[in-house]
Each structure stands twice: as C-alpha cells, then as structure tokens.
Amino acid sequence: MTRLRDRFPTGGGLNDEDWAGRHGLLTVLLAVFMVFLTLFGLWQGDDSVKELLITDALVLPSLVAARLMRGRRPRSLAVALGFAVSCAGFVALCDGLTEAHFTFFIAVAALALYRDWVPFGGFLVATVVHHAGFGTLQSDHTFGHGPAQAHPLIWALVHGSAVLASAAFQLVAWRFNEIEEKRAREDLNESQAQLGVAFDETPVPMAMFTPAGLLVRTNSAYREWLRLPDELPDGFTIHDLPLSTVDEDQVGMLQLLIEAREPVTATRQFRRLDDGSLIWVQAHGTGIYGPDGDLRLIFVHCIDVTAVRDHEAELSYQVRHDSLTGLLSRKAFEHDLTELLADGAEPVSVIYLDIDRFKTINDGNGHTTGDDVLRALAGRLSQVVPDGALVARLGGDEFIVAVQGPAGSGLRVGNGILAALAEPLTVGGNEKAELPVSVSVGVTTASGSVPADDVVLAADTAMYAAKRAGGNRVQVYTDELRVPVQQKIAAEARVRRALAGDPRLTLPLWFQPVVSTETGRIVGAEALVRMRTPDGEILSPFHFIEAAEETGLIVPLGEHVLRTAVEHLLQWSDRLGYISVNVSPRQLAEPDFVPMVESVLAALPGFDRSRLVLEITETALFTSAVDVSERLNALKRLGVRIALDDFGTGYSSLTWLKSLPADIVKLDRSFVAGLAEDARKASIIEAVLWLARSLGMSTIAEGVEEQADWEALRTAGCPAVQGYFFSKPLPSPEFEAMLLKSIERGTFEGVHLDETMGTAVAG
C-alpha cells in the first residue's frame, strides 16, 4: 500500500500565490460557463427553463462559496462542484447528447490545475453520481440514444470509465510534475545550501542590500570585519555601518551600482567610527535585476586593501626618497624638477652641494660617522631651505636643492646654507659629538622648459669650480665654467677611443733615458705613454691622464703600458738595464693590480724581474685608500723593484723613506733645477743621498736640464740622472737608435768624462 500510495501524486503542493492565481482563473471560467449555459438555455426555449433554473440555482452558490469561504480546499471544492453541476446541466439542456458529455473531460483537465485531491476527487465523485444516479432517474436527459436509455448503468459505467481514464492521465502528468518539481527543489536546496556555505563561511566579507541600502544578508566575515553583532536590528542600512567616508566628494558605491547597471569595482578610504583608524576598502559590486529590469538586490564583496595600499605607499616612498636621509632620490628630483621647469611661472634656481673632504671624514671617523654626517646635513638643509623647495640626495655626499623665485633666490639660499653650516653638525648615537663640516656650493638659474639634465649639469659645474677654489664657498654658474668640463669630457672620450682601438698605435710608449753619472752610459729608461689622435697628432699625458684617473680608465691604460714596456725591454735585451713604469694611485688601490703584474711576469720564464721598476709617486702614499706598505711588499715579493717618484714634494718624506720597501729614490726636479748656484739645495741633496745609501737605496735625480746641475750631481755622488740635458722622451725607434750609439761610443752621446778632472764635459 505504501508503494502504491507513493506512486500517486501528493497534492496540495502549490504555494499560496500560485494557488490564488489558478483559483481565480477557474472561478472566472466557471462564471463564464454559467453565463454560457444561461444564454444557451434561453436560446433553447421554454422547454429548457426548468433545467436552466435548477442549474443556475446550484452553480451560483458555488461561485459565491468560491469567493467568500475560508480555506483553500472548501473554496476549490465549491468550484469543482460548480463545474460538475454546470456539466450536468449542459448535458440536460442538450437532452443527453453524447457530445455534451465532452465538458466533463474539459472540467477534469481544468480542475487538475489545483493539484489537490479534494476538488479533483470531489468532481470525479460528483460525475459518477450524476451518471449513475441521474442517468437512472432521468435517462432521457442523461443519455441521448436508445441503448443508453435502456441500460443506463452500463452506459454510466462506460462514460465514467472514460472520465476516470482522462483523470488518470491527468494524475500521471500531475505526478510527473511533482517528481520534476521535487528534483528541482532538491537541486535548488542543494544549490542554496552550497551558496549559503560559500556565502557564510568564506573569509571574504560579503553582503547583500537593497537599492535603498537596507542590508538583507551578511556573512560572518563581513560582521567580524566591521565588528557588527551576529543579529542586525531591523531596518539596518549601509548608512548605519560604523564607517565614515574620508573623501566626501567621492560617489558612493550604492550610487555607482544604481547608475552603472553593470559590475563595479571601486576603492574607497574610510575611517572606522569605533577606533578612528583609516582603512582602504576595495568593493566589488554586482546588481541583481528582476525580469522587468529593475534592480532588486546588490551583492557586494569587500577586500580590506589597507596593507596593500600601505605597502604600495611605502614602495612609492622608497622609490622617491633616499633610504639614508629621507630626502628625495635623484630620479624623483629630476622628475619634479622637470615639472617645475615646465610650469614656467617663475625662474627655477638649482643649488648643488658637495661636502668638502668627506673622504677624510669617512676614513678618519668610520663610515657610520659618515652616514651620521649625511643625515645631519639633510636635516640642516630641510630647516634652511624655503617651504616648497625640492631637496634631494643625489648619492655619496652630493645634495641638490631647487627653488622657485626671482633670479637671486638661488644665491640667497646657497649663502644661507653656508651660514647654517658655520655651526658644527651634531652626529653620533648615544654619545653625541659635534663635527665641523663645510660644503662647496654651485648655483644656477633657469627659466622656461629647459632640460632638467642641463640645469643640474650647470649647477654641478659651478660646484666643482667652488671646490677647486678651496671649498666652503658659493659659485654661480657662468658659461666660462663649462670649458674645463667640456675639456674633461673630450679627454675621456679620447681615452676611450684609444683603448677601443689598437693601443699599440693609439697609445704608443716613449722613453726617456736614465744616465749613470759614473760611466755616462744609458742604464735604464722611463716609459711614458703618449696618445696618437686619428689625425696623427701626438698628445702628452697632460691631455688625458687626469681624465683617465678620474674615470678609472687608468686601470686598463696602466696595464697596456706595463705589458708594452716589458715587451720593449725584452726586445732590447741586454742593451738596456731596466725600464721603469709609473703606477697611479688608482691602479695601486685596485685589488687586481698585484695579480695582473704577476700574470705579466709569469708569462716570461727566465726574465730578471728586477729589471722592471714600478714608480710610485709620493703623493699616492697619502691619497691611497689601501695599505700601501702591504701592497708594495706584495709587489716586492714578485721580484720587481720599487721607485719612490717625486721625492721631497710630500709632507713626511723621511718617514716614508724609512718605512716603505723602496729600492730607488727619485729626487724631484724642484731640488735639481739651479742646484749649482744654491748651496741649500746641495745640502739637501747630499743629505738625501747619504740617507738613501744608508738604507740601501739607489737615487736618481730628475729634471736635469743644465750642464752645471749635471756636474754638481756627479760631484755630490748621485748615481744616476735623467732630464732634457740628455734627451727628452723619444719614440721607441729613436730611443733604440740613441741606445745603440751610446753603446758604440761607450758613453752617452754629447757627454764625455774628464778622467783627470772627474767631471763630465759637453761634447
């Protein structure tokens, strides 16, 4: 029985809205049917008045009951009985015509719309009663043919079976609809359950609200995020949220959705009303529209992007600001300066600063103190410059300021910076210390859309002019100041071109002889680099060495000189005792310098390494950033000899002479020129010669240009000399020819020794 029952429709499953619609339709149809019967009965004539009155008398109460009774089933049952009476009345009015019975089939299909057993079953019962009972009592008004009138029960069974068969198919369709609806309802429930879990359990704050702003649904993440209670009070709207808009000019999310009619993403900043903190919210909103196109609901999920925006702001700050001082970075300054120049409202003055002797501060006090100085200077600058000025650290110890104003504004700011630095800077951590600092300042002023790079370069040029003038001063840029800069740039370009070509041709070596005072023979030579320009002009080192030193190109240039000098020494074999090569401070400071020299020598098995002399200028000893003694000892271990060049021009010559592993001392030309007429110079040279001999060193006098000086040096016992008195530096072919003649003559050409007098005489 249970299985059989489960195969029949349940019934009564319509919701109130759908039932009301169907009941209203059937009630109207019943009323129309009653009107039709009335008109049809009147058309039939007087013979049908009785049946018509009976039918209307029974149908009319059914219509009234269908409208006024309470409860769905009593009202639907009234309609069902009304249809049964109407169908029976129509059959009676038609005198039992078979075709009139079709109305019962129509009524069965119509009452199936209720999908309820009470009206449907009531109609079927009424139909059976009509056919069986009324057919027996009034067979002529029920069945319109003889056989049926003779055997009414049989034909009542036939008609009833047909109606029941029709009803059975309605039940089947009804049941199938219920099965499909149940499946759809289960799918819907599952989908809603999934949606509910996805909505309620997702960690992303989500909410639904009406176009009026009424919150319909929120998930736990949304309530937790905004610190709302689990149960919101009735009538709670988005205007009741504990947030206030920071920018009142921004269009609200609700208004955006209503106007856009499409998914919207917007980021807004809000202030929490509970603790006053600022948050950034990225809201993604989607409108849910009805069939009529009206906006019904707005679904929003929110992402708190405060951390992301803070991180972006921090990155933007780091990009635009120097990490050490907090001032603008070079890139940000150039960008803002470009905009400032493009504005063109007023002239723009750029003030370029560089700390004087900052390397001494770093070396003497440590890099931590150097960083403290940079931070303290940045703070002092920020206090001195006018409001709205651009202040940046370009790198190292260089700072730059840009201000708008009349042409004299930059000079006033520059002088103000110097005045502010008259007071020492306070540096250090727990133990504060005051450190005097001075700066070199360059100032330039530009108007109109001038390239920012040109303005900065002009201020930089003026700053270097101030530094060359002694520092701690302000220099205003003029076009004349650019000439040395242009020369330096041209010199650098020349060196780069020469190194990029064949250095043997573009950077040839010239040689100046070193002559023994005892024999008058050439005992060595100093290798000096020259530059051959594309048009064949030969340039002295004055035109390019300084640029090579500043740019670091001296390192590859020095390696070329060393390798080429050794090649010439091998070429001249035993005809020349040694060759000396100058080493710049920049080369000496390179960690790869000693390994480079070692690699050159390692490629020459059997070579007497003492024939290679490396000349170190005395000033390099003071400016080098490395341990000079350690570096020179490493060179000495390779077997080369060390010469101390320009001796006597430094501050602690005797101290260095005693502590450094030098083999040769080269007297500076300032001690040699006019030696024969200056007794004080002669005394100094004699003292240096004695000291060098006592330390096991040899001595060479440079810059000998007069015969009297040559004779005085020989008399004093100086072992060797060099200078224009003998020869200026010569290209290698000419030097080789001079070397061969010196060997053939047994003495240097143009000089011979007077054995009786002990002096050299010009030949």
The CA R_g of the chain, rounded to the nearest whole Å, is: 57
Q: Are 444 and 350 in contact (CB under 8 A)?
A: yes
Confidence of residue 473 (pLDDT cuts 50, 70, 90): very high
pLDDT digits (tens, 9 = 90+) for 600-614: 999 998 899 999 999
Which CATH number among 3.30.360.10, 3.20.20.450, 3.40.50.300, 3.30.2010.10 corresponds to the domain 490-762? 3.20.20.450
Strand-pair category, 398-404 with 390-395: antiparallel
Taking CA atoms, 558 is separated from 271, 527, 531, 549, 597, in Å, by 66, 11, 13, 10, 11
Q: What is the pLDDT of residue 15?
A: 80
What is the phi/psi pair of residue 613, to 5°?
-115, 125
More confident residue, 167 or 300: 300
> How many other CB atoms are there within 10 angstroms of residue 405's CB atom?
17
What is the helix (H) or strand (E) element at residue 635, kind and residue range? helix 628-636
More confident residue, 619 or 418: 418
Through-space distance between the first and last CA atoms of the chain, rounded to whole angstroms: 149
Question: Where do you find CATH 3.30.450.20 in the chain?
Answer: 206-310
- On the question of pLDDT at 430 being above 70, the answer is no
Mean pLDDT of 32-40: 85
Q: What is the pLDDT of residue 314?
A: 84
**Environment class of 749 (CB within 10 Å of its CB; exposed 0-12, middle 13-18, buried 19+):** middle
Tokens (6 digits) for 268: 């807004």
Number of H helices, E strands in the chain: 31, 26
- On the question of pLDDT at 145 being above 60, the answer is no
Report the CATH superfamily, name and number, of domain 206-310: PAS domain (3.30.450.20)
Tokens (6 digits) for 508: 């040839």
**Type of residue at 528:** L
Closest-CA residue to 222 (of 236, 201, 240): 201
Confidence of residue 637 (pLDDT cuts 50, 70, 90): very high
**Environment class of 124 (CB within 10 Å of its CB; exposed 0-12, middle 13-18, buried 19+):** buried
pLDDT digits (tens, 9 = 90+) for 257-271: 677 777 888 888 888
How wide is the angle at C-alpha 56 spanned by C-alphas 54 and 60, nearest 5°? 130
Q: What is the pLDDT of residue 199?
A: 78
Q: What is the pLDDT of residue 757?
A: 34
Q: What is the pLDDT of residue 271?
A: 87
- On the question of pLDDT at 213 being above 60, the answer is yes
pLDDT digits (tens, 9 = 90+) for 158-195: 666 767 767 676 777 777 777 777 787 777 777 777 77
Mean pLDDT of 417-446: 86
All residues at 6 or more sequence positions from 262 whose CB lies less than 8 Å from its CB, including other chains: 287
pLDDT digits (tens, 9 = 90+) for 368-381: 888 899 999 999 99
Judge: domain 325-477, CATH 3.30.70.270.
yes
- Taking the C-alpha atoms of residue 467 and residue 613, their distance in angstroms, rounded to an integer, is 35
More confident residue, 707 or 489: 707
Question: Where do you find CATH 3.20.20.450 in the chain?
Answer: 490-762
- On the question of pLDDT at 86 being above 80, the answer is yes
Q: What is the DSSP letter of 502?
A: -
Taking CA atoms, 106 is separated from 28, 362, 489, in Å, by 15, 108, 107
Confidence of residue 655 (pLDDT cuts 50, 70, 90): low
Question: Where do you find CATH 3.30.70.270 in the chain?
Answer: 325-477
pLDDT digits (tens, 9 = 90+) for 570-589: 999 889 999 999 998 888 88
Tokens (6 digits) for 370: 């150097």
Tokens (6 digits) for 18: 């759908």
Closest-CA residue to 208 (of 218, 198, 220): 218
Q: What is the pLDDT of residue 114?
A: 77
